[in-house]
A and B are shown apart, each in its own frame.
Chain A
Amino acid sequence: MTFPFWMLIVVLAVAAFTVRVLGLFAGDAIKSSRLAWMLDDLPGLIVVSLVASSLAGQSIETWIAAAAALAVAYVTNHVILTMCIGVVAYGGLVWFGF
């Protein structure tokens, strides 16, 4: 495992634990501050940006499969089911050369 892999694990571990410790010692103060809304909004915005970055410049098959996954996610709100149906939709579209 090279240095960047080690760095990612260590940085992510430090960040994850720091956030939890922050919640333990300053959670109530942060939740009642003027910036509390950012805690609510930022995770969703990051995830939406991740979806967008995954789809940017991709084929029409990928976009259609993403629409199918979105429909499943909307109806079921179930991560594993959405992943399974998304992959089947993507595989089917690519396999049949949509």
Chain B
Amino acid sequence: MKHGAIAILPLAAGAAVYGFAFGLLAAQVGFPWWGVALMSSIVHAGSSQIVAVEQFAGTSAVVGAAFAGAALNLRYIGIVASLSDILSGLSLRMKLLAIHITGDENWALTMAERAKNPAVGASFLIGSGLVMISVWTVSTTLGAVAGSTLPNLEQFGLGFAFTAAFIAMARGLWRGPANLVPWIISFAVTIGVVTLGAPKAYAIVAGAICGLAVSHLVRSKKKVVL
């Protein structure tokens, strides 16, 4: 467990910066520091929290914000499924703890270390996960404390910081040219629906659904060609 806790520290430092920025945003939206601490500890999904709070800031619509945040988290179905060998010897309670504290960083590190050394397993995952959730909760809380004492940061470009974060997330999710057409359609439909005056939450759903439909067509066409 100690091995994982130490190995994750460089990645935890990066997450702390990101977490502090999220705390600032959440405080500006109106979350108290303890609300941010509560959210970070029981949700523990950085990009989902950022997306949900950013959407909530614009509309205060819980359903749309939660949908956007939760949809971004779907990748965890695959991430957790890939841990089945690592978690196999644990009790159900420990499995539930392990999957809650699993994030992108400690999952990727555990898998990479396990590829080099098959002895790396659940204790490494749990040790690194405990550090990550602790760092995430503390850094977001500190950001919220700082954010509640500062003036409106929107004028200094804080809102744009999260547009930039979404752009960076998209880069991380890019899987190659097959994404291009669905992403263009998704982008264009969302812009169109917002321009028509619909709430952003609906525009995002419409954009994603149209992108999925086009992605399905592209995949079907590929199969026919093959």
Contact = CB atoms under 8 A, between A and B. Distances in A.
Nearest to A32: B81
Contacts of B175: 40, 44
A43 B179 CA distance: 12
Contact of A46 (B63, B102, B204): B204
B141 interface: no
Interface in A1-36: 1, 4-5, 7-9, 11-13, 15-17, 19-24, 26-28, 30-31
A70 B205 CA distance: 23
Interface string B201-226: 00111011001100110010000000
**Interface SS of chain A:** helix
Contacts, number: 259
For chain A, give the interface size range: 35 or more
Contacts of A91: 156-157
For chain B, give the interface size range: 35 or more
Contact of B211 (A9, A45, A56): A45
B62 A4 contact: yes
A27 B207 contact: no
Nearest to B158: A87
Interface in B161-196: 161-175, 179, 182-183, 186-191, 194-195
6 contacts: A4-B56, A12-B43, A15-B70, A17-B100, A49-B204, A54-B166
Interface of A: 1, 4-5, 7-9, 11-13, 15-17, 19-24, 26-28, 30-31, 37-57, 62, 65-66, 69-70, 73-74, 77-80, 82-83, 85-87, 90-91, 94
